[in-house]
Structure 1
Amino acid sequence: MVEVARAGRADIDWLVREDASSGEAWVSRCVALGEYLLAWQAGEIVGFLRFSRFWGRVPYMEMIRVLPEHRRSGVGTALFLAWEEAMRGDGARLLMTSSECDESRPQDWHCRNGFCETGAIELPGLQSVPEVFFVKRIA
């Protein structure tokens, strides 16, 4: 059984290690703002979802990661559904996410979870391929 809860200060070391590209300052900031959800199984953290708000309003799923040995077991879906419900509870009507255009598995996952492609942008110097954006209406 997967349990999902907001991350707390006690989870920062784990998040810094597992969300390594973010760095401790950013992880701490996101934890303080309640922008991490953690998935737990048998008393251990097995995944996380990090989000923010696009334009300060639209919930934007920045990263979802499940530890390799727990993938394809419903952990990612549990994280996503908990986030969607929390955002709906906050009054959101639309969700956003994205992936690089050459990442077919994440794009398939987004589509299976109700997202539709809405456009792409190129970020020269930051990424070698365009970023594809997805939206999902929840209201």
Structure 2
Amino acid sequence: MAIEVIAASDENIPWLIASDRHVSEAWVRRCVSLGEYLIARQDSSPIGFLRFSWFWGTIPYMDLIYVLPDNQRRGAGTALLQVWEEAMRERGARLLMTSSMSDEPEPQAWHRRNGFKVSGKLTFGNLQPVPEVFFIKPL
């Protein structure tokens, strides 16, 4: 089955609220209103999403990419990334950013396979003692 990637709309908000457990409902609504979510669909049903923001207001930053467990390793994440990259390129971006926890080797490997390179690490004290690994990808 073909994977379709679309910009999230208001009709996707209930699914995003249920699926994106890292942020509040208000944040989901904000991101949808600003066009900062992409949805991967199969047979018109959502199977994954990519949420992004803007680091320093200028660098596209992939906050989170998520694919439902039964749909992982079938190209949805790559499709989301490719559509996002092209959209950011069209908006004049010359660099993409993302990150992963240092104790998550699988997501880090996925980023590397998709052309991202490690740029540095940060810790956030008691808020997040495990270092966050930052990745960049020139466009």
- Range class of TM-score, shorter chain: over 0.9
Once the 2 structures are TM-superposed, how far is the Cα of residue 21 of structure 1 from its aligned partner? Answer: 2.0
Question: 1:102-128 CA distances to partner (integer Å, 9 max, x unpaired)?
Answer: 110000000000000010111112213
The percent identity for this pair of structures is 57
In structure 2, what is the Cα distance between the partners aligned to 1:7 and 1:23? 16
Q: Normalising by the residue count of structure 2, what TM-score does the alignment of the two structures yield?
A: 0.98
State the partner residue of 2:106.
105
In structure 1, what is the Cα distance between the partners aligned to 2:129 and 2:19? 24
Q: Does residue 118 of the first structure (1) align with residue 96 of the second (2)?
A: no
Structure 2 residue identity aligned to 1:75: A
Question: 1:13-41 CA distances to partner (integer Å, 9 max, x unpaired)?
Answer: 10000001211000000000000000010
Unmatched tracts of structure 1, length 5 or more: none
Query: Matched residue of 1:128: which SS?
Result: strand
Unmatched tracts of structure 2, length 5 or more: none
State the partner residue of 2:79.
78
State the partner residue of 2:6.
5
State the partner residue of 1:137.
138
Structure 2 residue identity aligned to 1:95: L
Query: Matched residue of 1:84: which SS?
Result: helix
State the partner residue of 1:22.
23
Question: 1:36-84 CA distances to partner (integer Å, 9 max, x unpaired)?
Answer: 0000101100000000000000000000000000000000000000000
Query: Which runs of 4 or more aligned residues in structure 1 lie more than 6 Å from their structure 2 counterparts after TM superposition?
Result: none
In structure 2, what is the Cα distance between the partners aligned to 1:17 and 1:4? 19
Structure 2 residue identity aligned to 1:120: K
Structure 2 residue identity aligned to 1:59: P
Corresponding residue pairs, total: 138
